[in-house]
Chains A and B, each alone.
Chain A
Amino acid sequence: MLIPTVPETKPIKLSVRNMAFSYGEKKVLDGLSLDIHAERVTAIIGPSGCGKSTFLKCFNRIHEVSSAVNVSGDMLMDGVDIYRGGIDEVDLRRRVGMVFQKPNPFPKSIYENVAFGPRLFGVSDRTSLDGIVEDALRKAALWDEVKDRLKESATGMSGGQQQRLCIARALAVNPEVLLMDEPCSALDPIATAKIEDLIGELKENLTIVIVTHNMQQAARVSDYTAFFWLGKLVEMDLTERIFTTPRVQMTEDYITGRFG
């Protein structure tokens, strides 16, 4: 093997074993097994409809809100099964934050958007809220841009700002994992670059899983890359290996744009 093996020092945060998923009768994911390391960025790539978003949503069980779903196999976080390990899905969602494809700020002020999460858990005194909001906005590299207009409506911001606001909002409840579903697909290249930088900083103390259709983005931001096809995991490896010497022909074809 040409690429030197880097010793992985980070522990496994999420671990999936032989997982299958279906919306009612419709099987979407099958036989998935993979590990996701803490404080690393894991990218998930694959053609449209192969189940990437679905897979991502399994980690915080958010699809249960609107659809009847079936999950089998094991999904562990810190060694505890998130479906059967006595974990409450509401708690789980606090620990596993999510950023969606389209920025979805609440139609409230910037401040209220970020304070929304903490308020849910009963934080109500002004000073702690102010602290949390500033902290989260700083982490999302948004503070300097909005510190003078925290009371303004979030829907008046640019798309890139909105998306960073959504990241800040997710960070405000102190998640351990951040799921990002094509977070840049609605953004221009400059806003995209900002979010990519942000991802690099955030992984210092977060586990990040990101779905992207942009191969360059996956190559730039991620440490690991998993390639999905028709609801199955084709290959997962260090990102540089996936992009230079994939072991499966299909992966190479997909990355080089020969299909999908």
Chain B
Amino acid sequence: MPIGSTLAHPAGIQPGGSRKADPMPDVLETSLTAVPANGGGGSAESRPTVPQAAESPAFRHSRTHRLADRWAHLAFLSCSLLVVGLIGGILFFLASRGLAAFWPVAGNMGRALHLSEVFLSADWAPSSDRFGILPFIAGSLGVTGLALLIAAPAGILTGVFIAKMAPAWMRNLMRQVMDLLVGIPSVVYGIFGLTVVLPLVSHTWLADAPASGFAVSAVILAVMIVPTIVSLSTDAFESLPSSLDEGAQALGSSRWQAIWHVLIPAARPRLLTAAVLGLGRAIGEAMAVQMVIGNNPQWIALMRESTDRAPFLRALFTPAATLTTELVQELPNTAAGSTWNNVLFAMGLLLYLLTMVLILATRRLGRGKEA
């Protein structure tokens, strides 16, 4: 019978077949037992034992080795558990102080606030017992949004430039530039903004005397988060199969058309992840922003009142405040346990929860990519 047919039907060699080329079940045993001069059976006990290789007693693990192996596992595990514990610990301690603003807690000096009078009010006058943190939330969102508006397109385009267009020397140069930018401390960014950027725009047609506000903060923040976005989007573009790019260009699309119509859409989930992580960095940044934003909790009112400039510019160059800058600004001046202090911790808690949400969002995006 033709071999081919047996091979085409692997089931043909299962026991129960009757063809000649179907020998496995019985031949298996015979071939074993037919190993010459060994007779059947093959039980190891019936044979002469092997002369043990002259065994050097040194080649045995000592008890200590084995114990070390076991304890090491535990040690490594506890390091990981410590990290997990930290996540929970931070949440617990921030909540214990932040939520104290809303519930009457022992040792709490002030009155218990209502959630809405904190999160839905723009009236921040702690000395008069008014704790609306809306200006800070809006400030954080505003400055972060602006920064992202600059950094995301620039970062993603730089990413595609590095991954798909730049010659090798330029690629290396860009990597080094980004490495340096990410390594510069916040306070140095802050002092640069304060001493170089602010004087540049102050007292010009853009702004009256000190030009602190959203615009300068956002520009500084954008430079700070761009390396994050660049490095993640470079990875995203580099991990795309090269067939994608080649395929598009083989059809006659130009370099840019391939990037715009094929590469960017294909990398979209990871580009979004890059933007979200950049957003996370921006929203949590404290010192650099605090040094240039002007720290004015009453910025909403100020923006409404002043009429000296075009509304748009007024918005960009009004001294303002964010969640993080307000924490830096006021935390040292408040007594632990006071309502004021508790509300500041509630702002910290809000930032932490936001971080968690953003990280979970990147997970979602990541999963979308796999599907």
Contacts and interface: CB of A to CB of B under 8 A. Distances in A.
Nearest to B1: A249
B67 interface: no
A174 B42 contact: no
B36 A253 contact: no
A244 to B, nearest CB: 14
A49 interface: no
Interface in A3-20: 5-8, 11-13, 15
Interface in B2-35: 3, 6-7, 10, 13, 20-21, 23-24, 27-32, 34-35
Contacts of A122: 58, 62, 65
A203 B27 CA distance: 29
B35 A35 contact: yes
Interface stretch (B48-56, B128-136, B170-178, B280-288): B48-56
A121 B37 CA distance: 40
B61 A91 contact: yes
A176 interface: yes
A220 to B, nearest CB: 20
Q: Main SS of the interface on chain B?
A: loop
A5 B36 contact: yes
A237 B27 CA distance: 11
Contacts, number: 114
Interface string B267-294: 0000000000000000000000000000
B42 A35 contact: yes
Nearest to A252: B3
A128 B58 CA distance: 11
Contact of A247 (B27, B38, B43, B48): B27
Nearest to A78: B50
Contact of A7 (B32, B36, B60): B36
A121 B35 contact: no
B296 to A, nearest CB: 59
A158 interface: no
Interface string B182-208: 000000000000000000000000000
Given A76-B44, A250-B6, A237 B50 contact: no
Contact of B58 (A123, A233, A248): A123
B172 to A, nearest CB: 25
Interface of A: 5-8, 11-13, 15, 31, 33-35, 38, 76, 78-79, 90-91, 94, 118, 120-123, 128, 173-176, 205, 224, 229-230, 232-238, 247-250, 253, 258-259
23 contacts: A5-B36, A5-B37, A12-B42, A12-B47, A15-B44, A33-B42, A35-B44, A38-B50, A76-B44, A78-B44, A79-B49, A90-B66, A122-B65, A174-B54, A174-B55, A176-B50, A224-B35, A229-B13, A234-B24, A236-B31, A236-B32, A249-B20, A249-B23
